[in-house]
Structure 1
Amino acid sequence: MRLGPASIRTRLALFFGVGTSIVLLLSLGLLYVALHRQLNSAVDADLTARGDDLLGSVRAGDLSGIAGDPMAQLYAPDGTLLATASSIAGHVLLTPAQVRAVRGTKATSMTLPLGAGGAPRRVRLMARPVDGTGEVLAVALPSGNIERAGNRQLVVLLVAAPVLVAALATLCWLLLRAALRPVDALTRQAAAISTLDSGRELPLVAGDDEIARLSATLRGMLARLAVAFARERAFVDDASHELRTPIAVLRGEIDLALAAADNPEEVRQSLLAARGQVARLGRLAEDLLLLARERDGSLVVRREPVDLTDLARAEAGALTGVTGLAIEVRGDPVIVEADADRVRQVLSNLAANSAAAGARSARVTVTLEPPEACVAWADDGPGFAPELLGAAFERFVRGDPSRTPSTGAGLGLSIVRAVATAHGGTAELRNGPPLGGAVVTVRLPAG
């Protein structure tokens, strides 16, 4: 359940307004306190100067200075009034108890009945003892105007604070709206893209800020997804094409068998042909399943110690009888943790590719190049067409029929790379030595 507004602009403006309000109120409060203290310090400095002058006169036995002061009085130790300013004659600044409580110089603000008819007046009063005589000198200054000025300043600050907060929040909202306008454009355009093959792109945001980088990243992501989508669609089309042919042949053979039900030999030939197509379909389905598992990372390999050289020699004999290739195996014993069946599948696919390309002989070279073990398959065929060197590992890629008269599905090298990747290795291809034809090198982690 969302408690705040849905718009990020509104939320950020709200958070900014609340944060700004707190900071602004604290700043204004500190400013008011500082101004109040500064005013009191100025008044206290004036009272101190006047008190120093009057204290010098009292020490000299001259009390006329007190009579001429705007607001000053001298008290005996018991609180008896000894001298007073003529302007406050008949009034007292301190009570006897307050006089007896004076121990040092102290300034305070208070309200005293010093006005006409005993009306209260706000004063700032400083009381200080006169040397060691026990007498107390009190000097005061009306502070009503000063305090009212401070109160007016406080009112101004309290009125200005909401206006400043509202202005800052509005400015923040406008800035956020301008900053997030490209995000709105990206959102609308992204919502309008229904499929990856629609040809529509996200708008490119100028600049090098976070939103510009986000725009470039999203555009790149869509481009990669479009490429992947095109490849997957091509894969589905190619797989459909590969499946259609054996299915059509299989159906035709079944129809022939049904039509020749009274001829056992023709039925037998049709069933044998149909069985061959079923085997072809089975191999194609297994290859497609292997590649699909490799793509989603679920291709399982059973790791166990395998001597690649011994395995290659053992497999070479079987492959020679199937493909007609003269296969030579070279290399010292190399032990790796690998799935022997998958390695045999790699060698079988490479042999089938070489035979389909017209090669007559092949060489398998096993070497240890820490931290990898390398299995290099080379043949004396025509090699890979230059335009296929960068794409031969892709699914359903076939060479020129004049160079590679194969009827396979074009998945052999894709499976070779998938098996190598599942083992944590790599596969690469080239043309050239040692036999002048195609060379496929599979690298597996050693140890």
Structure 2
Amino acid sequence: MADPARPGIPAALRRRADRLRRSPRLATATERLAPRSVRTRTTIAACVAVAVVLLAASAAVVLLMRANLHRTVETAAREQARTVARSAAEGPLPHVLPLDPGADFIQVTDTSGAVVAASQNLAGRPALADGGHDSFDLGVLGDEHHQRVTTLTTATPDGPVTIRVGASLHTADTAEDLTTAALAGLSAVLVATVGVVTWRATGRALRPVEAIRAEVAAIGDRDLARRVPEPGSEDEIARLAHTMNAMLDRLEAAGVRQRRFIADASHELRSPLAVLRTQLEVAHTHPDPVVRADMVAGALQDTDRLQSLAADLLLLARLDTTGHNGPAEELDLAELVRTCLEGRGPGRKEVVTELADGVAVTGNPMWLGRLLTNLLDNAERHARHRVTVRLALDPATGRAVLDVADDGPGVPPAEREKVFERFTRLDDARSRDEGGTGLGLSIARDIAALHGGTLAIEDTPAGCVFRTRLPARPHPTAAGAEGSGR
């Protein structure tokens, strides 16, 4: 009696197999079994590719050889059958037919199925049954042979007869087996050779990568002077090592700048703090109220300097962390300059402006105002009589050009980049001796760079000019010039 639940078993098994395939545990096990090494994956891929190619080539060789050998055997059997047919057409055949080389047996039957003639090994045997058999038990030889049988019907004086000639495929089968075994062995050797060569070649190729990885892993935050080894070749690994060393150069330079900045900041803070402490201690113990008032006034000045220095340090830290995620507001640069000058009030030196209207930039008004303020502070500290602020649009580059010039002693060409470094002191008349923090020009250059511009010292016949170039959007109104004295 059939089990009614039996037809549902295959579907249940399929559902269970699907659940197993989707199982996270099975996926995790598969991931664990998957090779993680590039060397192993490359070797496996090379071996699989070579094995597939060798398998296809070996199969093609064996099939072609089999077809050729079978064709040769069949041709020999057909030629034997034609020889017997010619003899039968000429007259009665002998009861025992001789075998030519390549033929295994011969049997001739008439239309009634009676054996007319046969080879010695089939003498006295009944007629072979039809049905396309190609394997016969030849008792004379004592075993069974794989044979190709050719059947030919021809007319004789006694009526039509059917001639069957069998040719042994033993030699062909033996050759095919030997060839298959030889190809299998050769393929195994080739796959093993490819695996060994690929493993060694991949290991040799990845050795510099491992050396780079080990060196990078050994480099600490206080050992940035080390570099990864660069191979002498010009391949991808050499370019990778060169790129890693360039990155390490940048990291080392950044670390040096950071340590120098911290040391300079500590030094700059230590001096005013020491002076401030001394003034407060003297004011606290001095009996003269006038001297005490002078000491307190000096302490307030040092406090202002400390406050300015702290503000500049915070701004530099903010600029360093902001990167290029800043400004997006469109500003009239001439109006911004006027607003900054009005907010400063009367200064110690005369300020002359030459501003071209209609020059718009995209930026942060607070930061651009700080850029201009820092340049003006620097110019006023070193100018003898006058500071000049010029704004124009460069038609060749489409950039806004903002110049802040003074008629002071100027900056030697060799020192023009050094003045933009943080806490830089010069040995000439433009040294920081009038209350500056030593960070203003560095902050100004960082702000210009953040807005996609540049800040540099340009040549001038007398004094010094700090030129800022910013990407501009000129207004359609015609540009004009304005001059005024402050």
Aligned partner of 2:119 in structure 1 is: 85
Is residue 253 of structure 2 the alignment partner of residue 223 of structure 1? no
Aligned partner of 2:135 in structure 1 is: 111
Is residue 304 of structure 2 the alignment partner of residue 279 of structure 1? yes
Contact 2:154 2:162 survives alignment (8 Å): yes
Structure 2 residue corresponding to 1:150, chosen from 149, 171, 176: 176
Aligned partner of 1:373 in structure 2 is: 400
1:297 deviation in Å? 2.6
Is residue 426 of structure 2 the alignment partner of residue 399 of structure 1? yes
Aligned partner of 1:360 in structure 2 is: 385
Rounded Cα–Cα distance in structure 2 between residues aligned with 1:428 and 1:45:
97
Rounded Cα–Cα distance in structure 2 between residues aligned with 1:14 and 1:142:
43
1:214 deviation in Å? 2.1
Give aligned-pair identity as a percent. Answer: 30
Q: Sort the Cα spacing of 1:111 and 1:319 in 2 relative to 1 into closer, same or farther, 3 A.
A: same
Q: Sort the Cα spacing of 1:87 and 1:273 in 2 relative to 1 into closer, same or farther, 3 A.
A: same
Residue type of the partner of 2:76?
A: D
Structure 1 residue corresponding to 2:212, chosen from 182, 186, 208: 186
Rounded Cα–Cα distance in structure 1 between residues aligned with 2:163 and 2:106:
7
Rounded Cα–Cα distance in structure 2 between residues aligned with 1:360 and 1:38:
109
Q: How is 1:157-176 mapped onto 2 (pairs within 5 angstroms)?
A: 157-176=183-202
Report the secondary structure of 1:251's partner residue: helix
1:299 deviation in Å? 7.5
Q: Sort the Cα spacing of 1:36 and 1:328 in 2 relative to 1 into closer, same or farther, 3 A.
A: same
1:134-160: CA deviations, max 9, x gaps? Answer: 864432211123212222222333344
Aligned partner of 2:273 in structure 1 is: 247
1:49 deviation in Å? 4.0
Is residue 365 of structure 2 the alignment partner of residue 340 of structure 1? yes
1:227 deviation in Å? 1.9
1:38-84: CA deviations, max 9, x gaps? Answer: 32233233334444555555566675799334433344456444443
Q: Sort the Cα spacing of 1:414 and 1:198 in 2 relative to 1 into closer, same or farther, 3 A.
A: closer
1:210 deviation in Å? 2.1
Is residue 115 of structure 2 the alignment partner of residue 67 of structure 1? no
Contact 1:329 1:365 survives alignment (8 Å): yes
Is residue 59 of structure 2 the alignment partner of residue 32 of structure 1? no
Report the secondary structure of 2:322's partner residue: coil
1:271 deviation in Å? 3.6
Q: Sort the Cα spacing of 1:324 and 1:410 in 2 relative to 1 into closer, same or farther, 3 A.
A: same
1:193-225: CA deviations, max 9, x gaps? Answer: 445556443323111122222222222222222
Structure 2 residue corresponding to 1:389, chosen from 404, 416, 424: 416
1:112 deviation in Å? 0.4
Aligned partner of 2:374 in structure 1 is: 349
Rounded Cα–Cα distance in structure 2 between residues aligned with 1:391 and 1:158:
75
Is residue 464 of structure 2 the alignment partner of residue 437 of structure 1? yes
Q: Sort the Cα spacing of 1:125 and 1:196 in 2 relative to 1 into closer, same or farther, 3 A.
A: farther
| Bigger shift: residues 65-74 or 368-377 | 65-74
Aligned partner of 2:145 in structure 1 is: 121
1:15 deviation in Å? 4.1
Contact 1:28 1:157 survives alignment (8 Å): yes
Report the secondary structure of 1:113's partner residue: strand
Aligned partner of 2:20 in structure 1 is: none
1:387-426: CA deviations, max 9, x gaps? Answer: 1233433322343343335342322222222222333333
Report the secondary structure of 1:392's partner residue: helix
Higher relative contact order (CA 8 A, sep 6+): 2
Rounded Cα–Cα distance in structure 2 between residues aligned with 1:62 and 1:277:
141
Residue type of the partner of 2:309?
A: L
Unaligned runs of 5+ in 1: 103-107
Aligned partner of 1:408 in structure 2 is: 436
Residue type of the partner of 1:378?
A: A
Contact 1:382 1:438 survives alignment (8 Å): no
Rounded Cα–Cα distance in structure 2 between residues aligned with 1:391 and 1:66:
118
Q: Sort the Cα spacing of 1:250 and 1:43 in 2 relative to 1 into closer, same or farther, 3 A.
A: farther
Structure 1 residue corresponding to 2:284, chosen from 254, 258, 271: 258
Rounded Cα–Cα distance in structure 1 between residues aligned with 2:448 and 2:42:
51
Aligned partner of 2:263 in structure 1 is: 237
Report the secondary structure of 1:232's partner residue: helix
Report the secondary structure of 2:427's partner residue: coil
Report the secondary structure of 1:296's partner residue: helix
Aligned partner of 1:423 in structure 2 is: 451
Alignment RMSD (CA, Å): 3.4
Residue type of the partner of 1:395?
A: R
Contact 2:330 2:363 survives alignment (8 Å): yes
Contact 1:254 1:274 survives alignment (8 Å): yes
Q: Sort the Cα spacing of 1:422 and 1:192 in 2 relative to 1 into closer, same or farther, 3 A.
A: closer
Rounded Cα–Cα distance in structure 2 between residues aligned with 1:363 and 1:92:
129
Rounded Cα–Cα distance in structure 2 between residues aligned with 1:345 and 1:8:
54
Rounded Cα–Cα distance in structure 2 between residues aligned with 1:290 and 1:78:
117
Residue type of the partner of 1:446?
A: R
Contact 2:455 2:466 survives alignment (8 Å): no
Residue type of the partner of 2:377?
A: A
Q: Sort the Cα spacing of 1:138 and 1:173 in 2 relative to 1 into closer, same or farther, 3 A.
A: same
Rounded Cα–Cα distance in structure 1 between residues aligned with 2:95 and 2:456:
110
Residue type of the partner of 1:235?
A: F
Aligned partner of 1:315 in structure 2 is: 340
Q: Sort the Cα spacing of 1:339 and 1:224 in 2 relative to 1 into closer, same or farther, 3 A.
A: closer
Report the secondary structure of 2:252's partner residue: helix
Contact 1:431 1:439 survives alignment (8 Å): no
